[in-house]
């Protein structure tokens, strides 16, 4: 385990420095400790920002990289030294290396109380907004009468004191482990192995009493919930628009949008083209349908796999290049998980666009050409690489689907299209169109 020890004094002679050096020497079998100095840190002055200077950046980087921090502070006039306070000011002004960092406070002073009041003061500072350290509770190591506590070699004379220090350090190591567990991202929530594509369940926004497969589901559901329309205002989290403005705004998007809720019910698409002109055909009667109704049965396994990836958080977005639109297009389907402020899955945002006009515009603006473009279909192929950050392709084999089966399912996860078929794609880079050479 890697710890750093911060000397809370800028004096040339400091017993708190000696204390940290003692810890570094005698407990090296339990952890590695690097002692950091604050002697060269300038006095805090927000009008003369020194955040980017090497001395402050080095301190910040070492604290951030450490598993935990031990601060050894003397006591000056019932509080911590001005030099230590200044350092913490710099490390909470524009940068925040102490945030969620386990910290142990120790201290040595000339008098019997052993920096007790300074340690209390430091706890409050470390707990303040902008610092947000996680300080080990209790376990106060207060070394008083420090002039008599060490011998000339910097060794603690009293064996009992050394033993108590060791116990406090052991607890701090366990405290670091506890904090690391608390700070880990939450495990993905359990989801059914097979998604309910027929949307038989219910969520808070499900409109009850209306047949999901009805051609006029939208009209029935809107009447049942007294849905607003026209010039009625809708307050959004960062705007105020009428329903008409929302429709105009969404329909003007240069991409096809589809929304299905967490119950796998298809609830919306933006109408920016007639069905026969869309990259993935949608039509009004589909709105309200369960997703199973929007896909051929042969694709349900793939659809379920993608939804499960998004619902459980295994992936936040899945991208699929569909090459069947022709050599003059590079169409990508994006399946984006939607989550509320608490991280709960709230459905899928599918957006589809043809990247080829963007690629063509970029190449024209920059005068560049695609590598190997004359020898390869630059816009129709799925990548054969397995970049860890690249998105799932329809040639992948999710949830037990064989490669042969996947290649037959062109519209593996498209929310409404039922006519596309997968064809064998040339071996080209799926993103840039560049050849493998």
Whether 398 shows a pLDDT value over 80: the answer reads no
| 418, pLDDT greater than 70 | no
Distance, in Å, from the CA atom of 306 to the CA atom of 335, rounded to the nearest integer, reads 8
Q: Calculate mean pLDDT across residues 246-252.
A: 95
Residue 335 has pLDDT above 50, yes or no: yes
Q: Degrees (nearest 5) of the Cα angle 280, 283, 287?
A: 105
Structure tokens at 45: 């002055």
Q: Provide mean pLDDT across the span 171-182.
A: 93
β-strand partners of 150:
156
Q: What pLDDT digit, counting tens, does each position of 98-151 carry?
A: 999 999 999 999 888 788 999 999 999 999 999 999 999 988 899 988 999 999
The pLDDT value given to residue 412: 44
Contacts of 262 (CB under 8 A, 6+ apart): 203, 311, 345, 346, 347
Are residues 256 and 280 in contact, defined by beta-carbon separation less than 8 angstroms? yes
- Dihedral over alpha carbons 316, 321, 325, 327 (to 10 degrees): 150
86-95, 214-223, 420-429: lowest mean pLDDT where? Answer: 420-429
- pLDDT for 149 equals 93
What is the pTM assigned to this prediction?
0.48
Instruction: Report in angstroms the alpha-carbon separations of 406 from 336, 351, 381.
Output: 21, 21, 15
CA distance linking residue 118 with residue 128, whole number of Å: 16
Q: What is the pLDDT of residue 4?
A: 97
With cut-offs at 50, 70 and 90, classify the pLDDT of residue 40.
very high
pLDDT at 187: 56
pLDDT tier at 53, thresholds 50, 70, 90: very high
Per-residue pLDDT tens digits for 357-369: 999 999 999 999 8
- The pLDDT of 269-280, averaged and rounded, is 92
Give me the chain's average pLDDT, please. 84
d(CA 427, CA 376): 8
What is the percent of the chain where pLDDT is above 90? 73
Burial zone of 90 (CB within 10 Å; 0-12 exposed, 13-18 middle, 19+ buried) = buried
What's residue 189's pLDDT? 56
Q: Which of 178-192, 238-252, 387-401, 410-424 has the highest mean pLDDT?
A: 238-252
**For position 186, what pLDDT does the model report?**
62
> How many angstroms separate the Cα of 302 from the Cα of each of 31, 81, 413?
49, 63, 6
- Determine contact, residues 428/377, Cβ cutoff 8 Å: yes
pLDDT mean over 60-65: 96
Domains and CATH numbers, the chain: 2-183 (3.40.50.360), 217-408 (3.30.450.20)
pLDDT at 376 over 90: no
User: Which residues fall within 8 angstroms of residue 66, CB to CB, at 6 or more apart?
Assistant: 2, 3, 4, 34, 101
């Amino acid at each position: 385990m890697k710890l750093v020890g911060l000397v809370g004094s800028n004096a040339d002679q400091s017993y708190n420095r000696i204390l940290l050096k003692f810890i570094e020497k005698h407990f090296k079998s339990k952890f590695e400790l690097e002692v950091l100095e604050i002697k060269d840190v300038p006095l805090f002055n927000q009008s003369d920002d020194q955040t980017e200077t090497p001395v402050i950046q080095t301190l910040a980087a070492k604290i951030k990289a450490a598993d935990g921090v031990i601060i050894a502070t003397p006591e000056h006039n019932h509080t911590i030294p001005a030099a230590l306070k200044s350092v913490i000011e710099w490390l909470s002004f524009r940068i925040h290396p102490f945030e969620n960092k386990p910290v142990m406070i120790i201290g040595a002073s000339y008098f019997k109380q052993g920096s007790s009041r300074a340690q209390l003061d430091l706890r409050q500072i470390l707990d303040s907004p902008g610092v947000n350290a996680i300080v080990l509770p209790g376990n106060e190591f207060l070394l008083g009468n420090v002039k008599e506590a060490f011998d000339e070699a910097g060794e603690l004379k009293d064996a009992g004191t050394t033993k108590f220090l060791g116990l406090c350090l052991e607890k701090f190591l366990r405290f670091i482990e506890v904090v690391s567990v608390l700070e880990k991202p939450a495990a993905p929530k359990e989801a059914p192995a097979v998604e309910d594509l027929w949307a038989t369940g219910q969520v808070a926004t499900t409109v009850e009493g209306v047949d999901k497969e009805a051609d006029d589901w939208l009209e029935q559901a809107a009447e049942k919930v007294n849905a607003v329309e026209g010039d009625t205002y809708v307050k959004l989290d960062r705007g105020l628009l009428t329903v008409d403005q929302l429709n105009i705004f969404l329909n003007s998007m240069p991409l096809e949008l589809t929304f299905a809720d967490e119950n796998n019910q298809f609830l919306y698409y933006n109408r920016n083209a007639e069905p026969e002109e869309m990259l993935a055909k949608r039509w009004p009667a589909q709105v309200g349908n369960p997703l199973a109704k929007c896909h051929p049965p042969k694709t349900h396994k793939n659809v379920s796999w993608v939804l499960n990836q998004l619902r459980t958080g295994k992936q936040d977005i899945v991208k699929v290049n569909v090459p069947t639109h022709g050599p003059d297009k590079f169409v990508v389907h994006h399946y984006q998980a939607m989550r509320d402020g608490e991280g709960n899955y709230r459905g899928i945002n599918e957006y589809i666009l043809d990247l080829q006009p963007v690629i063509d515009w970029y190449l024209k603006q920059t005068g560049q050409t695609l590598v190997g473009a004359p020898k390869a279909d630059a816009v129709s192929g799925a990548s054969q690489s397995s970049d860890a950050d690249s998105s799932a392709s329809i040639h992948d084999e999710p949830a037990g689907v064989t490669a042969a089966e996947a290649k037959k399912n062109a519209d593996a996860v498209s929310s409404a299209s039922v006519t596309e078929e997968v064809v064998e794609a040339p071996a080209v880079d799926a993103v840039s169109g560049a050849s493998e050479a």
